[in-house]
Amino acid sequence: MFQRLEGIQKRFYELEQELSTPEIIKDQNRFRKIAKEHSDLGEIVKVYERFLQVEKQIEENKPMLSDPDPEIRELAKAENEQLSKEAEELKESLKVLLLPKDPNDEKNILLEIRAGTGGEEAALFVADLFRMYSRYAEKKGWKVEILSSHDTGMGGFKEIIALFTGDKVYSRLKYESGTHRVQRVPETETQGRIHTSAVTVAVLPEADEVDVDINPADLRIDVYRASGAGGQHVNKTESAVRITHVPSGLVVQCQDERSQHKNKAKAMKVLAARLLELKQKEQQEQQSEERRTMVGTGDRSERIRTYNFPQGRITDHRIGLTLYRLEDVLQGDLDEVIEPLGTYFQAKALAAESS
């Protein structure tokens, strides 16, 4: 590990030198590429150099451990115990920083939320979850753009798909994929009985052009009149678009915009993300169990979380986390849920790396 860290440190300072050369400064594309690599290595180097500093201090304190003065011996012992503890913590941090990076961590995402069992109550919870993620995005300074939605006319959605753009969106939300269960008394329930409903969440990394090659000949594009309550324009023109990717059988549709061109662009964005997900699943099936654990598949079929309204409780079943702060979480205070998940999956990755 330390041989690898020495190489990273050397590379970091080589990049630092390159960034100050006039040739690199003039070539903005190359400058951005080098600056990105330099920034990525910076955190590792910072922790590694602190580790070296702590180790050096421990060595320098050793002669004082046998000093004739008992007070100096005691001080040196206490300081070395504290430094040894810090060195161990830094070493663990370095192990995490050296884990293989998920190539999608820096990407924007397409968030898809769909109603499952529970009828209108499930559709209302789709709206609740979308509001929760939107408020979380607002706190993080991300942007949210709805690409497609199918509302029920009663405040809920059968499905909603949105693009979240910002800094490391996928790395924060990638473990949200799965089945989210809600337990509450619906407004229409006269007997006060608790109903259980479910929705599915899928977090898909936004596909770059280099990630997915879509052959236009593989697409069947249909246009039709949009349906639903959309005002005077929405039903009068054939602005809605349905795209079928024939080889995979994937179908996407969009009718939110008045313009057929805009609906087609949004539908293509969704299609590209789903094709990327399909491609990654195929790759993961060919990889070892250890590698799949490191990257994390975010299987949307897994029941991951329960939101219990009568108790004000939210439980993440994967890590046994229970919080009695349901209202705060639904207002977008998601970090208390997301950060323990990241720690848990890092620990799994470390265990897989060392086995």
- The CATH code of the domain that includes 159 is 3.30.70.1660
Residue 302: pLDDT band with limits 50, 70, 90: low
pLDDT tens digits for range 3-12: 888 988 999 9
Q: Are residues 114 and 197 in the same domain?
A: yes
Q: Are residues 197 and 304 in the same domain?
A: yes
pLDDT tens digits for range 305-349: 999 999 999 999 999 999 999 999 999 999 999 999 988 888 887
The backbone region for 242, taken as left when phi is positive above 0, alpha when psi lies in -120 to 50, beta otherwise, is beta
User: Residue 49's domain spans which residues?
Assistant: 2-97
pLDDT tens digits for range 210-260: 567 788 888 898 888 776 554 444 455 678 888 999 888 898 888 877 888
Residue 330's nearest CA partner among 180, 132, 126 is 132
Q: Are residues 93 and 119 in the same domain?
A: no
**Residue that terminates a domain, selected from 254, 284, 314:** 284
289 found inside a domain: no
Is pLDDT above 60 for 80? Answer: yes
292 found inside a domain: no
Tell me, what CATH number does 17's domain have? Answer: 1.20.58
Q: Are residues 239 and 121 in the same domain?
A: no
Residue 103: pLDDT band with limits 50, 70, 90: confident
Task: For residue 325, give Cα distances in angstroms to 187, 237, 307, 321, 337.
Answer: 21, 47, 10, 12, 10
Question: Which pLDDT score is estimated for 287?
Answer: 47
**Residue that terminates a domain, selected from 44, 73, 97:** 97
103 found inside a domain: no
Question: Which pLDDT score is estimated for 236?
Answer: 58
* DSSP 8-state class, residue 258: S
- Residues with Cβ < 8 Å from 348, sequence gap 6 or more? 293, 294
Q: Are residues 270 and 132 in the same domain?
A: no
pTM to 2 decimal places:
0.66
Of all residues in the chain, the percent with pLDDT exceeding 90 is: 43
Q: Are residues 225 and 274 in the same domain?
A: yes
Tell me, what CATH number does 274's domain have? Answer: 3.30.160.20
Helix (H, G, I), strand (E, B) or coil at 217: helix
Rounded CA gap, 83 and 51, in Å? Answer: 10
Rounded CA gap, 89 and 94, in Å? Answer: 9
Q: Are residues 166 and 39 in the same domain?
A: no
**Residue that terminates a domain, selected from 227, 261, 284:** 284
What does R_g of the chain's alpha carbons equal in angstroms?
Answer: 26
* Averaged pLDDT for residues 102-122: 89
Two tokens at 268?
Answer: 């293509």
Q: Are residues 167 and 258 in the same domain?
A: no
Helix (H, G, I), strand (E, B) or coil at 29: helix
102 found inside a domain: no
290 found inside a domain: no
Task: For residue 251, give Cα distances in angstroms to 111, 178, 242.
Answer: 17, 21, 7
Is pLDDT above 90 for 27? Answer: no
Rounded CA gap, 170 and 277, in Å? Answer: 13
Two tokens at 300?
Answer: 């949307």
Please name the residue ranges forming H helices in 141-225.
169-173
Per-chain mean pLDDT for the chain: 85
Q: Are residues 127 and 200 in the same domain?
A: yes
Ranges 48-62, 136-150, 204-218, 321-335: which has the least confidence: 204-218
Torsion (CA) 46, 48, 51, 57 in degrees, nearest 10: -80
Two tokens at 18?
Answer: 């390159």
Tally of structural domains, the chain: 3
Enumerate the β-bridge partners of residue 242.
222, 253
Question: Could you please report the per-residue DSSP string of 131-144?
Answer: HHHHHHHHHHT-EE
Question: What is the largest distance, in Å, between two alpha-carbon atoms of the chain?
Answer: 95
pLDDT tens digits for range 252-293: 888 877 888 888 888 888 888 888 888 877 766 654 443 344
104 found inside a domain: no
